[in-house]
Structure 1
Amino acid sequence: MLQVDDVTGDPWPALRCWAAGRATAEIVERAALLDIPAAALGEARPAAERIQPTAPGGAPRSPRGLLVADLSSMWAGPLCGQLLARAGATVVKVESPRRPDGTRAGNRAFFDWMNHGKLCYGIDFDRDADQLRELLAVSDIVIEGSRPAALRRRGLGPADIATRPGRIWLQITAFDDDRPGFGDDAGVGGGLVGTSAAGPVFCGDAIADPLTGLHAALAVAESLGRGGGELIRLSMAGVAAGYAALGTEPPTSDAPVSPPAPPPPSGPASAQGADNAAVRHLVSQRRFLSC
């Protein structure tokens, strides 16, 4: 990033000095070359989900009884999966043993709240790609939170999986292109930031993540109402930009606003791979019924 062979000690002063003499576009471009999440303030525009028909649709239906394969991690995708689970879907949380969901190493209460009630399936995306392909083939909804090319390289993209009538494939990306990103930089890219005397500051904690998770669940519900059979692509920066464009209005009421309350405690989420046998049995049942 700094185009030097060695930086001793704290790298941030050197990075600030390097960035001060360069245009924002150059910094973002160089970060993208190195797969480092970065965004220019307000680079994204408000964007609704992009919808592409991919399979025969069916009658409108609710999430109850549907099978969801959740390949996402962290926040946006898992929140969408949690909301679908609460609506009655069976949600399988898919993780690679080599790269588990990063929130497992963080606040345990947060991870449990986001993932309790899901079947946790640990599978190597490379070595066991055929088993993962079988799960995707029998799933009614697929949630994907990585860059689309990551699954395509393994033959696990939406075009590689056997068609299933009414299947909804949700792709959550940081930006409209294939750059990596997280909730903080996607929020900045959408212009959803706070202000301070020193300039823009992050708004909330990874604000684009929860907002996108809510929008994703709504997009899936609306697709189910249309009969499904769709590929839905949702950009976190585009969602954040939509909220940034709302502006602020003066309050119309003197009624006090209650402070946000923490969610009620949830049951523990399963350990990684704890439900492998149950998932394999579920896949076998669905394959038999589809014959």
Structure 2
Amino acid sequence: MRGPLTGLRVAVPGTGAAAWHAARLLGRLGADVAAQADNHGAAADWAASGVMALTGRRDGPPVLPPGQTASAVRGALRAIELLCAVAGREVDLPGMGVLSERAALAGLRRDAPRSPGGAFRVLRAADAWVGLNLPRQSDVDLLPAWLEEADPVLDEAVARRRAGELAERARLLGLPFAVLPSEPDEQSLARGQVPFVLTGEPGARSWTLPPTVVVDLSSLWAGPLCAHLLGLTGARVIKVESVTRPDGARRGPREFYDLLHAGHESVVLDFAAAQGRAALAGLLDAADVVIEGSRPRALRQLGIDADEVLSRARDKVWIGITAYGRTGPWANVPGFGDDAALAAGLLAFDPGTGGPVPCGDAIADPVTGVNAALMAVACRMSGGAWLADLALREQIAATLVDTGEPGLPGEVARPRRREPAGVAAELGRDTGKVLAELGLPC
């Protein structure tokens, strides 16, 4: 398959790990890349990103994570800027601080073996390190059924069981659970553990960035960050939510929600009603870019078929974000940023105690959001209909590059706030206006 950037020559300036990752990503999208970078300097990027400050015990020092995730995000943002420059569009994008800005706005701190947000915890099973995410009370209520004990003591019950047994029961119950990999599993073997799956064919390839309407069906962090970055490149963003299940990120922190959604229009629909589903179908047809974060089963329940929508369009980009990918035996397995990162192999260990240390705050979410924005920009510049399948786990796995350089990060920066550009629209504020403009049922 020809990538969307096939035929485009891009020069990546600079040296170091971020430039190396920018060149790597652009090359995988088909560009002819001129670069002289090496993949050194990742430790300094970890320290400067704010992630290292979030990694470690509450009463211990910051811990340097493995791999090059912070450098990869810095590189992806640089790649977006380079493409926009080719398209003649000036942009002002955030830096790799996007990895830690939610923690800065929410006042989160490192707290190993728990994540800064507290919902995720690393545990020791009988044969492996595992991670359990309990973001909702309904997940907590499933613990007795998962462990087959009336009143389980979590650490002790997990320690008595093998990781495979725990994973199998977690998938049956829909619990976000991960095992630190020691060898390829059935999902990675099915998908090849690639950084992204992109299918389609280039269109006119004018290498401009045309006016773009983004319909954002996603929630929480990864998809909304993608939409936010596209908005910063000049796209019009329409956020679409269910009247019964709006984006859970609206519950806070409010400043973080404002940061990602200020300037976007808000449409609310009743997906259970025929009129709501008809309006949704019309919005998908009107979009130049669709962003969604639903597992295939949930999309089918809404009557949404990405391939069918793309078949009706000459120039459209569909961004699908899931924990483990749209295909393979784990396509419908739930997951969030922390557990997906552990499933990819991203886990640090405290040098003093040897204990496990989750890396950053739900780190797979912002990594995927930045990469998704890069996919969307590249595909829009290429023209044509494209489907980008991004799995949280695979985005992290692609950054676990070992350079063998010594861990000398220098000064460890705290997570930094980025102030919102305004206040996000209240739920459904623009429903009537947007539907009327597109001639859709209100």
- Give the TM-score range, shorter chain: 0.7 to 0.9
Q: Structure 1 residues 266-275 or 194-203, which shifts more?
A: 194-203
Between 1:256-265 and 1:217-226, the stretch displaced more is: 256-265
Distance change >3 Å, CA 135–CA 62, structure 1 → 2: farther
Aligned partner of 2:167 in structure 1 is 28
TM-superposed deviation, 1:38: 0.9
Report the residue type matching 2:406 in the other structure: P
After superposition, give the CA deviation of every residue in 1:111-150 in whole Å (9 maximum; x if it has no partner): 0001111111111222111110010011111011110221
- CA–CA distance in structure 2, aligned partners of residues 58 and 239 of structure 1: 29
* Aligned-partner Cα distance in 2 for 1:150–1:57: 30
Higher RCO by CA contacts (8 Å cutoff, separation 6 or greater): 1
User: Post-superposition shift, 1:64?
Assistant: 5.1
Match of 2:268 in 1: 122
Are 2:324 and 1:175 aligned?
A: yes
8 A Cα contact 1:63 1:84, kept in partner: no
Residue 289 of structure 1 aligns with which residue?
A: none
Q: Which residue does 1:210 correspond to in 2?
A: 366
Corresponding residue of 2:398: 242
Q: Which residue of 2 aligns with 1:133?
A: 281
Q: Does 1:38 align with 2:177?
A: yes
- The answer to whether the 8 Å contact 1:56/1:166 transfers is no
CA–CA separation in structure 1 for the residues paired with 2:344 and 2:270: 34
What is the correspondence of 1:83-162 to structure 2 with a 5 Å cutoff?
83-127=229-273, 128-161=276-309
**Per-residue CA shift, 1:230-253, capped at 9, x if unaligned?**
111011101111222345633689
| CA distance in 2: counterparts of 1:171 and 1:262, whole angstroms | 28
Residue in 2 aligned with 1:185? 339
CA contact (8 A) 2:226 2:372 kept: yes
Residue 152 of structure 1 and its aligned partner are, at CA, apart by 2.0
Name which of structure 1's ranges 34-43 and 153-162 shifts more when overlaid on structure 2: 153-162
- In structure 2, stretches of 5+ residues that fail to align are 1-145
**CA RMSD between the two structures:** 2.5
SS of match in other structure, 1:279: helix
Identity of paired residues, percent? 39
Relative to structure 2, which stretch is displaced further, 77-86 or 64-73? 64-73
Is 1:275 aligned with 2:430?
Answer: yes
Scaled by the length of structure 2, the TM-score of the pair is 0.58
- The TM-score with structure 1 as length reference comes to 0.87
Matched, 1:50 2:236: no
Aligned AA (2:195): A
1:61 Cα offset (Å): 5.4
List runs of 5+ in structure 1 lacking aligned partners: 286-291
Q: Residue 270 and residue 61 in structure 1: after superposition, are their counterparts in 2 closer, same or farther (change >3 A)?
A: farther
Q: 1:62 to 1:97 in 2, by over 3 A?
A: farther
Q: Summarize deviations over 1:3-28 as a string: whole Å, max 9, x none.
A: 24x43xxx5x2x32222122111111
Say if 1:46 and 1:245, in contact at 8 Å, map to a contact too: no
Which of 134, 137, 147 is equivalent to 1:2? 147
